[in-house]
Amino acid sequence: MRFQTQVDIDAGADTVWQVLTDVEDWPNWTASMSSVKRLQQGPLGVGSTARVVQPKLRPAVYTVTECEPGRSFTWQMKAGGVKVRAGHDLEDLGEGRTRMVLSVEQSGPLSGLINAVFGKRARSYVDMEAAGLKKAAETLKAKGGAQAED
């Protein structure tokens, strides 16, 4: 199962990246996250891990497997016969606007069953995250965040 959504944000890529990579703050702008706890300090990058708790799902540890600072990161988790891979890709649209593409992909021997049980919820959570990220980045821009780029 793969699901993808995109949202255009009225904030520059630096502002969106700032909000996106502060993963511990996600529960403040999306109801799809109960808590996110980084398991080490420093900038988010390849090898970074975080314990993610989402409503009605088991806690999971996600590991960043790909990262292009200021542009994209992908993290994944493996548990119970399924691998979940989540992508976060920014496209600078110019004039202080950014397109955010969020995706989630489930694979593995139990992915069909997991998709049947949790697929609708996963799609709903990705949509919530896109809407929440848009609002959080636009609010930060309005407050003067990441001014150098906006």
Summarised one tens digit per residue, pLDDT across range 87-139 is 999 999 999 999 999 998 888 775 565 655 566 777 888 899 999 999 999 99
How far is Cα 1 from Cα 7, in angstroms, rounded to an integer?
Answer: 21
Digit-coded pLDDT (tens) for 27-55: 999 999 999 999 999 999 999 999 999 99
Degrees, nearest 5: CA angle 70-43-25: 85
**Amino acid at residue number 6:** Q
Picking from 111, 103, 119, the residue whose alpha carbon sits closest to that of residue 83 is: 111
Q: Is residue 150 part of a domain?
A: no
pLDDT, the chain, mean: 89
Give me the domain span that covers residue 46.
Answer: 2-142
For residue 147, being part of any structural domain is answered with no
Domain assignment present for 65: yes
One-letter amino acid identity for 115? N
CATH of the domain at 32: 3.30.530.20
* CA gap 26, 103 in Å, rounded: 16
88 domain-assigned:
yes
**Which residue type sits at 98?**
T
Domain count, the chain: 1
pTM: 0.88
Q: Give tens-digit pLDDT for 55-74.
A: 988 899 999 999 999 999 99
